[in-house]
Structure 1
Amino acid sequence: MTKEQSNVNKPLASHEIIQIEQKIEWLEKIQVEYKDFIYLYPHSIETPLHRYLLKEVFDISYKWSPGQIGFLYLHTTGGVRTFHTRSDPSDFVQQFRETEHL
């Protein structure tokens, strides 16, 4: 494996995301949070359930405030995908904007 090939498999950046599942148990509604990551690779962005080629991603934006659940928006050719986050995604977004996409 060449150095270039090994760099393709190494993420340029990652950011913790939260998946929120709502359940109804007996007489109450509860929310269960699962933590996972979104990864930025040289040619794609990957989550546990999806893979987006960078040529299909227009931009990434976010709305976040300390101590609250924020939103990370992935603007793609197929629409906007929203992810929940508890931490500032600005480093992830900046790294994305430094890649060659579209």
Structure 2
Amino acid sequence: MSIISVIPYTYIERKMKRTQKVTVQHSKDICLYANSIQTENDYFHINSVFDISYKGVSKGSGFLYLHTNQGMFAYIIHSDPSAFIAAYKHIKKRG
């Protein structure tokens, strides 16, 4: 199945190394397919996703929320999600 839309997201990993707290920022992709949305660790069938919303928190970054039958999942993004959300809504409208 081919990817319809992709949006990068970041997540923060905090670890202890000896006596020092280390923070590592990782960048991954959320991929929209015709029948699913997938991240590095999550898989959602398109029928399990009820809505996608976005809340900006600072200039150029915010949270992308996936509202699913498993709960709400938040992803930190640093780019405009409007094309990703429009592609999702187009797939849902098509049925």
The normalised TM-score by structure 1 is: 0.80
Displacement of 1:76? 0.1
In structure 2, the partner of 1:31 is 23
* Correspondence 1:49 to 2:49: no
Unaligned runs of 5+ residues in structure 2 are: none
Aligned length: 93
Displacement of 1:86? 1.3
Q: Is the Cα–Cα contact under 8 Å of residues 66 and 87 in structure 1 kept in the other structure? A: no
- Give secondary structure in 2 for the equivalent of 1:19: strand
Q: Answer 1 or 2: which has greater strand percent.
A: 2
In structure 1, the partner of 2:59 is 66
In structure 2, the partner of 1:16 is 8
Unaligned runs of 5+ residues in structure 1 are: 1-8
Alignment RMSD: 1.8
Mark the structure with the bigger radius of gyration: 1
Q: Distance in 2 between matches of 1:94 and 1:67?
A: 19
